Structure 1
């Protein structure tokens, strides 16, 4: 009887040891799987890696050719916060793949300054634009066909002191975590 109890004790010790070894493998594996999902979500939802585009050049991005055509301030407007300036960013985009609703999903035009701060378009400033000018989001649903060139304009409100260092950037879900960062003439 005591031999049976001793055998059970040894067997139980073996299983405890085996369980601990399995835990040493399973816990890091579980953490790795969860971290992978987090990293994948982080990279899929954010514009992290810039692709620089020289002034006057275009870049293939999101199935289309993007070109910055103008970046300018709209000075002299009233009813704005002190020391702020409306900035207009104009693009000409030649459509390659017309599936814009999928390729341009999450389309984001932004301004980035030398310190890495970002500004999103604003609706607080209303400026008259020609009828053929669209925003990034409205262009997704415009029904543009391959070969069409569409004009995009986004309006921003930024502090006056950053107007010399801001650069326009474009991000779309089909290209994330990469985004286009357009350089200015003086860069």
Structure 2
């Protein structure tokens, strides 16, 4: 076996050192966009909104209008004993152009343990809809309201329905965020009405 010359040993050491330097550097450069996107997709900075109050967010004044808990008191509405249907409605006064700000609107419920419930995607029969809706008919969801292109000065109603455990209702808070305003988000203090 031929022993390597000092210049060859030096070159090998430099290459090994370069790998230890360049590999983390390459990872950092390549993942920078992904990390920025990840941070912007997360809800990190909460703004608490007291019950009945409005808060400025993403080009509008947002207020929790209705937080109605339906536990199945009507024979037409059959649901598991340990579950409740929550109808949450936001009213937003649009202050500026929001087409970009309201993209990827996310409206969810979060309990004290940090568990998150996403809205139901269903259409209810007309008589059930009239039973549980605050004014007898439903409003657009958070994700679809941006498609109506609300203009500045208009008022928009957003509504979502959630099926949640009854045990978590006491600590349940509605949370809303949009892509144009994340990592900031609104956390509402609800005053519930039950059916």
TM-score by length of 1: 0.82
| CA distance in structure 2 between the aligned counterparts of 1:68 and 1:107, rounded to whole angstroms | 15
2:38 is aligned with 1:42: yes
2:148 is aligned with 1:142: yes
| More displaced 10-residue stretch of structure 1: 168-177 or 12-21 | 12-21
Residues 69-148 of structure 1: pairs in structure 2 closer than 5 A: 69-75=65-71, 76-77=73-74, 78-100=77-99, 102-124=100-122, 126=124, 127-128=129-130, 129=133, 130=136, 133-148=139-154
Residues 164-179 of structure 1: pairs in structure 2 closer than 5 A: 164-179=170-185
| 1:180 partner SS | strand
2:84–2:165 CA contact under 8 A, matched in 1: yes
2:58–2:98 CA contact under 8 A, matched in 1: no
TM-score by length of 2: 0.79
Task: Give the match for residue 22 of structure 1.
Answer: 18
| CA distance in structure 1 between the aligned counterparts of 2:161 and 2:190, rounded to whole angstroms | 18
| CA distance in structure 1 between the aligned counterparts of 2:63 and 2:101, rounded to whole angstroms | 17
1:132–1:151 CA contact under 8 A, matched in 2: no
2:181 is aligned with 1:182: no
| CA distance in structure 2 between the aligned counterparts of 1:119 and 1:132, rounded to whole angstroms | 20
Q: CA deviation at 1:42?
A: 2.3
Task: Give the match for residue 163 of structure 1.
Answer: 169
| CA distance in structure 2 between the aligned counterparts of 1:161 and 1:22, rounded to whole angstroms | 57
| 2:5 partner SS | helix
Larger radius of gyration: 1
Alpha-carbon spacing, 1:73–1:185, altered in 2? closer, same or farther (3 Å): closer
Instruction: Kindly tell me the number of residue pairs found equivalent between the two proteins.
Output: 180
1:135–1:153 CA contact under 8 A, matched in 2: yes
RMSD: 2.6
| Gap runs ≥5 in structure 2 | none
| Gap runs ≥5 in structure 1 | 1-5
| CA distance in structure 2 between the aligned counterparts of 1:59 and 1:68, rounded to whole angstroms | 10
Task: Give the match for residue 3 of structure 1.
Answer: none
